[in-house]
């Protein structure tokens, strides 16, 4: 009986977190987030104009409406500020895009101001998108701070939880990771010419969580992980790695989860 009560309390706690921090079903959530994103866009334009202009180029590749494209600006400023604060040495970016620009720009600022070398390994499962959008549009002045690579995806079971991960991860002890991939469905590319179809996941009945962090933790200590939305991934990773977690924090406006590991 006591165990059942604990499970119910845990369920309602996670349900509250999910509805408050990650959903956009209520008017106040949409209003607060859009205000935050517009403010982030203004700050980037005023304080990081070079990054702002580079982001415009990549964002324009997708035919998003203005309200939908605003999320890029909120993501970018949050990630930039967090990255500058942590000053990681080796970063793993799971899912390339506008965040690649932001991280590399942050690495450049860290080197200029603190003389600390930061390097990003960025991986994506969409080869066409990676080559024709991200790499082709990526500014030359940031190339020294990042390495791009394409990787196929694989599926594995983790204590009964179906996980999807990249097949080729660099053999590096990372101290920071940004989880925004691999994509389970191609909907992120629906409004663009860059389609993605992965045969290994096209007929699955349930959505797998992004599992790369599970394997990375086997060789990386004091890892800091930022997860972009991905509610099922957040809860599954927390459940499977709870004994290694030092602390965690949820951010409402940017819809991010940050996990600090021992």
Q: What is the CATH number of the domain that holds 137?
A: 3.40.50.150
Residue 20 within a domain: no
Residue 197 within a domain: yes
Indicate whether 152 pLDDT > 60: yes
Domain that holds residue 110: 77-261
Q: What is the mean pLDDT of the chain?
A: 86
Residue 154 within a domain: yes
pLDDT at 189: 39
Residue 72 within a domain: no
The number of distinct structural domains making up the chain is: 1
**Looking at residue 188, what DSSP letter applies?**
G
Residue 219 within a domain: yes
Give me Rg for the CA atoms of the chain.
18
Confidence tier at 14 by pLDDT (50, 70, 90): low
CA distances from 71 to 39, 223, 235 (A): 11, 26, 22
Helix (H, G, I), strand (E, B) or coil at 202: coil
pLDDT at 191: 44
Residue 227 within a domain: yes
pLDDT at 244: 96
Confidence tier at 187 by pLDDT (50, 70, 90): very low
Residue 158 within a domain: yes
Residue 45 within a domain: no
Burial 217-229 (b: 16+ CB within 10 A, else e): beebeebbbbbbb
Give CA–CA dist 152/115, Å, rounded. 35
């Amino acid at each position: 009986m006591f165990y059942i009560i604990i499970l119910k309390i845990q369920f309602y706690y996670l349900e509250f977190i999910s509805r408050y921090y990650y959903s956009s079903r209520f008017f106040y959530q949409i209003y607060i987030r859009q205000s935050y994103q517009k403010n982030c866009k203004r700050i980037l334009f005023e304080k990081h104009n070079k990054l702002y202009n580079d982001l415009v180029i990549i964002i324009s590749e997708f035919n998003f409406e203005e309200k939908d494209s605003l999320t890029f600006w909120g993501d970018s400023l949050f990630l930039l500020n967090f990255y500058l604060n942590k000053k990681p040495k080796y970063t793993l970016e799971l899912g390339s895009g506008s965040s690649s620009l932001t991280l590399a720009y942050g690495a450049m600022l860290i080197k200029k101001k603190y003389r600390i070398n930061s390097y990003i390994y960025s991986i994506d499962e969409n080869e066409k998108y990676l080559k024709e959008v991200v790499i082709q549009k990526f500014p030359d002045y940031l190339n020294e701070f990042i390495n791009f690579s394409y990787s196929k995806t694989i599926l594995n079971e983790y204590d009964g939880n179906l996980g999807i991960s990249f097949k080729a991860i660099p053999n590096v002890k990372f101290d920071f990771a940004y989880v925004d991939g691999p994509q389970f469905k191609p909907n992120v590319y629906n409004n663009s010419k860059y389609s993605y179809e992965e045969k290994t996941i096209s007929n699955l009945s349930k959505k797998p969580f992004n599992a790369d962090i599970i394997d990375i933790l086997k060789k990386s200590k004091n890892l800091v992980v930022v997860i972009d939305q991905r509610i099922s991934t957040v809860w599954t990773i927390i459940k499977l790695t709870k004994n290694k977690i030092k602390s965690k924090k949820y951010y409402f406006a940017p819809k991010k989860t940050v996990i600090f590991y021992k």
